[in-house]
Amino acid sequence: MRLVKSLIGFLITVATTYLGLLAVTFFIGRVIPIDPVLAILGDRAPQDMVEATRRALGLDQPLYVQFYIYVQKALTGDFGTSVLTTNPVMQDIVRVFPATIELATLGTLIGAVVGIPLGVLAAVKRGSLVDQIVRFVGLLGYSMPIFWLALLALLLFYARLHWVAYPGRVDVAYEYSFTPITGFYLIDAAWQGAWDVEWDLLRHIVLPAGLLGYLSLAYIARMTRSFMLSELTQEYVVAARAKGLSERRIIWRHALRNAAVPLVTVIALSYASLLEGSVLTETIFSWPGIGLYITNSLQNADMNAVLGGTIVIGSVFIGINLLSDLLYRTLDPRTRRR
């Protein structure tokens, strides 16, 4: 019975959150001073054609009817047609979203692999020079604007040192040297044995992924330090030291293991924030992901694409949050009794 109630509560939470997301995007689309009909037909379209298109889109209906139609279409993945590309919006999103996932995933991996050890080290060496350096690096990571860091990184590593490739995802010379199957170019190129393409892809992705990884690292290191400081004061740590266990074993096998439970949520939130917050990074590095797609659509008053992309990103964010909550409950038995 408790399981059924928990499942019902979970479904209600998902439905309510998603309905709220749809409501926000719907009303944003209505308050923005851009006429979707004129965006499709142009400013010089005949008035009778404008009225016919408005009726065809249901924009002559009352607001609550428009919202019902909007929700109905969104639930089936129908976000309309992009004015910019003339393709269905969902088709465009399926094409560009793997690039964003690839970038955010690599950035999160960098953040977790480097950030967790740094956070543990800072907690163990609390108050030392090492701790101060880690905290300072973290402070820079989540206080400096990403666009400023990106421009500085391009100036240094591309324009001056020539260590990385120019902005973009792949060199034009290699664009047709492999067949995109999954949309994840690093996987596709490696699967087909196109190692020259793989190297070119890595030279393009290393800088934007490294910057996103630095942002993720700053957050993860900070939270790891906080969790570890809490765990190192627990009674089980004192008991383990009294039994003569080595400090290395206490830190890495006991304290970090318990701190890993809330860290799952932290890493999941970091990943979700990179997925939704990579708009500036993709724009600066000309990375053909959903962030750049939304930016170009907004500049061309393509509101179907903007709202469709926003809903997809919001849905992914909701899904990752719910997944992290389920993982937290699975890893921590104490939460199941609440």
Residue 48's Cβ-count burial label (10 Å; 0-12, 13-18, 19+) is exposed
- What is the average per-residue pLDDT within 23-46? 74
Q: Name the residue type at position 142.
A: Y
Summarize pLDDT for 137-175 with one digit per residue, the tens.
888 887 888 888 888 899 989 888 888 888 889 998 888
Residue 25 has which token pair? 């995007």
Q: Are the C-beta atoms of residues 228 and 261 closer than 8 Å to each other?
A: no
Q: How far apart are CA 338 and CA 328, in angstroms?
A: 13
Give the confidence band of 335 by pLDDT, cuts at 50, 70, 90.
low
Q: What is the pLDDT of residue 112?
A: 93
Give the confidence band of 20 by pLDDT, cuts at 50, 70, 90.
confident
139 HSE (CA, 13 A, CB side): 6
38 vs 291 pLDDT, higher one:
291
Q: Which residues pair with 142 in a beta bridge?
A: none
- Signed CA dihedral, 174, 175, 179, 185: sign only: positive
Angle, alpha carbons 226-220-135 (nearest 5°): 60
Q: Looking up tokens 């907004």, which residue turns up?
A: 298
Q: Are the C-beta atoms of residues 266 and 289 closer than 8 Å to each other?
A: no
DSSP per position, 158-218: IIIS--SPPSSSS-GGGTTSS--SSS-HHHHHHHTT-HHHHHHHHHHHHHHHHHHHHHHHH
- What is the average per-residue pLDDT within 213-221? 92
φ/ψ region of 127 (left if φ > 0, alpha if ψ in -120 to 50, else beta) reads left
Rounded to the nearest 10°, the torsion over CA 289, 283, 157, 214 is: -70
Residue 254 has which token pair? 């006991």
Phi then psi for residue 81, to 5 deg, are: -110, 140
The rounded Cα 12 to chain-centroid distance in angstroms is 24
Q: How far apart are CA 213 and CA 219, in angstroms?
A: 10
Q: What is the pLDDT of residue 184?
A: 93
Above 70 in pLDDT, residue 25?
yes
Point out the least confidently predicted range of 36-50, 61-75, 83-97, 146-160: 36-50
Rounded to the nearest 10°, the torsion over CA 171, 176, 179, 185 is: 10
223 vs 318 pLDDT, higher one:
223
SS3 88: strand
Q: Are the C-beta atoms of residues 296 and 282 closer than 8 Å to each other?
A: no
Q: Which residues pair with 88 in a beta bridge?
A: 81
Q: How far apart are CA 6 and CA 322, in angstroms?
A: 13
Domains (range + CATH), the chain: 2-75 (no CATH), 89-337 (1.10.3720.10)
2's CB contacts (< 8 A; 6+ apart) are none
Residue 241 has which token pair? 């030291």
Above 70 in pLDDT, residue 334?
no
Residue 92's Cβ-count burial label (10 Å; 0-12, 13-18, 19+) is buried
Q: Looking up tokens 């953040």, which residue turns up?
A: 111
Is the pTM above the cut of 0.95? Answer: no
- What is the average per-residue pLDDT within 35-54? 74
Q: What is the pLDDT of residue 277?
A: 66
Above 60 in pLDDT, residue 107?
yes
Phi then psi for residue 88, to 5 deg, are: -55, 140
Number of neighbouring beta carbons within 10 Å of residue 30: 14
29 vs 113 pLDDT, higher one:
113
